[in-house]
Amino acid sequence: MYATHSRIALFFSLAVFAIITGLSAQSSIEPSLADELSQNGEADVLVMFEAFPDLSGAKALSSKEEKGRFVFEALQQNARQHAEVLNTLDQQGISYQHFISANAVYVPKANVAMVDALSTKKNVFRISAIAEWRMHEIEGVSHQAQLQSRSVEPEWGLRYMGVPEVWAQGIRGAGATVGGQDTGYDWTHPALQPKYRGFRQNDTAVHDYNWHDAVHTQSPLNSDTLNPCGFDVHFPCDDGSHGTHTMGSMVGSDSANQVGVAPEANWVACRSMERGWGRPQSYLECFEWFLAPTDLNGENPRPDLAPDVIANSWYCPELEGCDTSTYPAFDNIVTALRAAGVVVVVSAGNNGRNGCNTVVRIPAQSPGAIAVAAHDSLGNIANFSSRGTSAAPLNGPDIAAPGVAVRSTTPGGNYRTFSGTSMSGPHVAGLIALMISARPELRGQVDTIEALLFSSAIQTDAPASDSCSAPGGVNQVFGNGTASAINAVNAALAWEGLTVSSTSSAKTFDVRIAPNPVGNRFRIELPSEAIGGTLSVIDGIGRMIFQTPINQSMMFVDSADWLQGSYFYQVQSAEGIASGKLVR
């Protein structure tokens, strides 16, 4: 009897080993996934697809609503390539989440046979493991004692940025909508409730299209099941305090507390973390909802109701299931939001005590997101604020904002003082709302908003001890400098209306620029179809500073007399278009 069972077990083990060995040899299967399957027999996986749609056509559209519809429809059409995978999962009765904007499908507890089957489907280029939870200390913000004191004067961060001077011009965020994904939000807080887009009268609200809960179950990183909000809740609720605090820095105000940069902006929100712990799929779910908000049943998406800017005061580390193999899904979704006219603001991270090259996690590493460092009330960089490295000059923080001892809203009508880049990111998101309120024509013009923001920042030298920045190179501590609300709004008001978008609907060129940052001179390599067209460079306030006909496939541009900052180039001919960012 025992011998028979041993032979059966041996045969089964050998069969599984053979399958896993075959899996590890397939290029679409990440090695870490093969390892996890060999250990556990199943894994949560993210299936990613080859072709991401060309969304550049959105640049030809003038309004944010048009851009949003264009992008959403392009993503829906692109999702047809996912049909074979979805049909397989449906036939097997396997649950999944389909993220069209990430070009990916999340499949929980996929076994060896299922992974093997999915890897053979058309257009699948990568299947990655979403790693099991791993307990260890996570970097965070410091929480000081609760403060009940009131402060009629605007908080120090607002004063440092020149926000009261902007308010004095009658610009307070009206007409703009901010979004946030975090631990949730206390929508009944007196400083936040009137600004909630769903708020009506007499403490009532319509939560459809204004709130989404991506927390469906308890995180095992929390030791109990006592979530104060519950799961899949149909109204904004904060199961911690972090989210409410970040929203306060964007829009919070009442008669005795001035904590928010844009107190007349509206807000919408998504909960992506269960008491501070998220998963790749919860973050992606919130991002996708922001692209096209839905009703409370997750139906009837409305891309025209997407917010203007999203604050993301979080990061996804390996213990939550993110690693570099899953980054492409986040890159896709940030690209889609940007094309749809939504500015994605993220926190640079709180790992600066470990030195250079510490802006290393998603979403701060996603191209197209604005990564924000933190400074104190004297303008000094916070010791915890993550730094970049001269070895990868475009991967560091983009700008710095107040992030030390920031007083803001917490649940129950309270106020507390927190520190972290979690606090600095919302200051920049609120600032962008002020810019849009000042010049509504900027809505949806993400490249131009970014250029105005960076070019108006106050140039700030890195500390003398800085070893992360190369001499004469990009500042890897402050990025483009410290954010200035008064400068950015004045730049928006002075903006001459030129944007980095194009009216052409032709195909997109492949353009290469080196070096970038460009220094005193740079090379641009162009396809033959661009010859006969025009190369233009636009500065941060929409001025054309350089334009030349394209008469060869390789051109050199002198940029020695350009001021330091961000610029955008356009290449346009009868055959196609291209645009992108330059840093001087």
Q: Element (H or E) spanning 288, and its range?
A: helix 280-291
Q: Copy the structure tokens of residue 454.
A: 């960076």
Is 239 among the residues known to form the active site? no
* Cα–chain center distance at 457: 21
Q: Is residue 327 pLDDT above 60, yes or no?
A: yes
Q: In what order do the strands lie in the sheet with 512-514?
A: 512-514, 521-525, 554-558
Percent of the chain scoring above 90 in pLDDT: 68
Per-residue pLDDT, averaged over 160-175, amounts to: 98
CA distance 261 to 489: 12
Of the residues 461, 494, 527, the one at which a domain ends? 494
pLDDT at 6 over 80: no
Mean pLDDT over each residue of the chain, to the nearest integer:
88
Going edge to edge, which strands form the sheet with 406-410? 142-143, 414-419, 406-410
Give per-residue pLDDT as tens, 205-241: 999 999 999 999 988 888 777 899 999 999 999 999 9
Say if 300 falls within a structural domain.
yes
Confirm whether 499 is domain-assigned: no
Residue 109: closest CA among 92, 93, 127, 95:
95
304: domain CATH number is 3.40.50.200
Residue owning tokens 């919408």: 268
Determine the structural domain holding residue 413 and report its residue range.
142-494
In angstroms, the CA 575 to CA 509 distance is 9
Report DSSP state, residue 186: -
Contact 477, 464 (CB under 8 A): no
Q: Are residues 420 and 337 in the same domain?
A: yes
Asked if residue 24 belongs to a domain, the reply is: yes
Q: Please indicate, yes or no, whether residues 42 and 165 belong to a single structural domain of this protein.
A: no
Residues 205 and 310 in one domain: yes
Q: Tell me if 136 is assigned to some domain.
A: no
| In-domain check, residue 501 | no
pLDDT value for 145: 46
For 235, list phi and psi in degrees, rounded to 5: -155, 155
Last-in-domain residue among 130, 164, 194:
130
pLDDT tens string 402-417: 999 999 999 999 999 9
pLDDT (tens digit, 9 = 90+) per residue, 447-486?
Answer: 999 999 999 999 999 998 899 998 888 899 999 999 999 9
- Domain finish residue from 74, 104, 130: 130
**CATH number, domain with residue 11:** 3.30.70
Asked if residue 152 and residue 225 are part of one domain, the reply reads yes
Least confident of 147-156, 158-167, 243-252, 374-383: 147-156
pTM: 0.85
Q: Which two tokens stand for residue 554?
A: 């390789």
pLDDT for 319 equals 86
242 is catalytic: yes
- My answer on whether 533 and 470 are in the same domain is no
Other Cβ atoms within 10 Å of 380 Cβ, number: 12
Same domain? For 462 and 413 the reply is: yes
The phi-psi region of residue 413 (left if phi > 0; otherwise alpha if psi is between -120 and 50; otherwise beta) is: left
- pLDDT of the residue at 141: 52
DSSP structural state of residue 142: E
Residue 257: predicted pLDDT: 96
DSSP label at residue 463: P
Q: Is 98 helix (H, G, I), strand (E, B) or coil?
A: strand
Element holding 67 (H helix, E strand): helix 64-78
When divided into structural domains, the chain yields a total of 3
Whether 390 sits among the annotated catalytic residues: the reply is: no
On whether residue 500 sits in a domain, the answer given is no
Based on the domain organization, do 78 and 146 belong to the same domain? Answer: no
Catalytic residue among 182, 238, 323, 447: 182
pLDDT in tens, 32-83: 899 889 888 999 999 999 989 999 889 888 899 999 999 999 999 999 999 9
Give the containing element (helix H, strand E) for 13: helix 2-24
422, 455, 502, 573: the catalytic one is 422
- Identify any residues that bridge with 549 across adjacent strands, giving them in sequence order: 534
